[in-house]
Amino acid sequence: MRGKESITARQGMVDLDNEGVHWQQDLSYGQYLDLDALLHCQRPRSAEHDEMLFIVIHQVSELWIKLCLHEAHAAAEHIRRDQLPPAFKMLSRVARIQEQLIKAWEVLVTMTPADYARFRGSLGQSSGFQSYQYRELEFLLGNKNARMVEAHRAHPEHYRHLSAILEAPSIYDISLQLLHRRGFALPAHCLERDWSQPYQACAEVEAAWSRVYHHTEQYWDLYELAEKLVDMEYNFQKWRFSHMKTVERIIGHKKGTGGTGGVSYLVKALDLTFFPELWAVRTSI
């Protein structure tokens, strides 16, 4: 037997005779993952080789964003309940997922401007600007803009869902409510407001976070929460920057297929911030 195994190994084969492999399965790997449906979703509209790359990168990114939303919504609920340890695990996972989203641009930039130009017309007016999952993630993090929902009015289910997220507290709003319950004096307009409006920085909130950062041993879990939120925004900004530079590298300063200014629009997004006091407080430490 030993000689047979060594011969098999030399031939580049793994001996499966004693491995108890289930050759017939009640539920196979492909069935569990619904691979037939998943792998039939890549349908290029042109004969150009690089369109498959473009489709796969964006579909994979949407799957990662789906998992981001799954984790971030659950983390927000744990923060609401003052259950911070499980929220920390989920927010750490979000940060790791964001790293994968950032890395995806490095694959896409292997496509040259000429490659993209050959099939860009196949996109019509479709654009990442219309990603309802991305919009939900922005709303959940606090970048509220009611006009953005209008891009989804033609899809009633998406429109209703995004409208509900727009009108609900963001993960930062929920974190500020927790600060208040922990004894930090925060103004009423930060705790109960029109959640569909963008959050405005507040001196009292910055003072509260400053107290947390200056007394980390006393408020360690709140300090860790603040840093998890900063991680999330930091990675989000890195993703935005990588997106902008990828677009600039491939199409220069052409208008986007969705009607935006392309690079000029993406540059504006870099100035947006989700958790302003968590950045401002660093100056005073």
Q: Domain segments of the chain: what residues? A: 49-120+127-252
Residue 3 has pLDDT above 70, yes or no: no
Q: Is 15 helix (H, G, I), strand (E, B) or coil?
A: coil
pLDDT band at 14 (very low <50, low <70, confident <90, very high): confident
Q: Is there a binding annotation on residue 58?
A: yes
Q: Residue 236's pLDDT is what? A: 95
Find how far residue 3's CA is from the centre of its chain: 53
Q: In the chain, what is the straight-line distance between the N-terminal and C-terminal CA atoms, in Å?
A: 69
pLDDT, average across residues 39-44: 97
pLDDT, average across residues 144-148: 94
> What is the average pLDDT value for the chain, to the nearest integer?
93
How far is residue 177's CA from residue 184's CA, in Å, rounded to a whole number?
Answer: 9
pLDDT digits (tens, 9 = 90+) for 100-118: 999 999 999 999 999 999 9
Q: Is there a binding annotation on residue 257?
A: yes
CA distances from 32 to 25, 28, 40, 134, 176 (A): 11, 6, 16, 26, 40
How far is residue 8's CA from residue 171's CA, in Å, rounded to a whole number?
Answer: 56
pLDDT band at 260 (very low <50, low <70, confident <90, very high): confident
Residue 41's Cβ-count burial label (10 Å; 0-12, 13-18, 19+) is exposed
Q: Is there a binding annotation on residue 116?
A: yes
Q: Is there a binding annotation on residue 240?
A: no
The single residue listed with the structure tokens 């392309």 is: 262
DSSP classification of residue 185? -
How far is residue 9's CA from residue 208's CA, in Å, rounded to a whole number?
Answer: 64
How far is residue 230's CA from residue 226's CA, in Å, rounded to a whole number?
Answer: 6
pLDDT band at 25 (very low <50, low <70, confident <90, very high): confident
Q: Is 211 helix (H, G, I), strand (E, B) or coil?
A: helix
The single residue listed with the structure tokens 């003072």 is: 207
Q: Residue 11's pLDDT is what? A: 61
Q: Is there a binding annotation on residue 79?
A: no
Residue 10 has pLDDT above 60, yes or no: no
Angle at the Cα of 151 from the Cα atoms of 147 and 152, rounded to 5 degrees: 115
Q: Is there a binding annotation on residue 120?
A: yes
CATH class of the domain comprising 49-120+127-252: mainly alpha
pLDDT band at 31 (very low <50, low <70, confident <90, very high): very high
Q: Is there a binding annotation on residue 134?
A: no
Residue 23 has pLDDT above 90, yes or no: no
Q: Residue 271's pLDDT is what? A: 86
What lies within 8 Å, CB to CB, of 185 at 6+ separation is 204, 208
Q: Is there a binding annotation on residue 172?
A: no
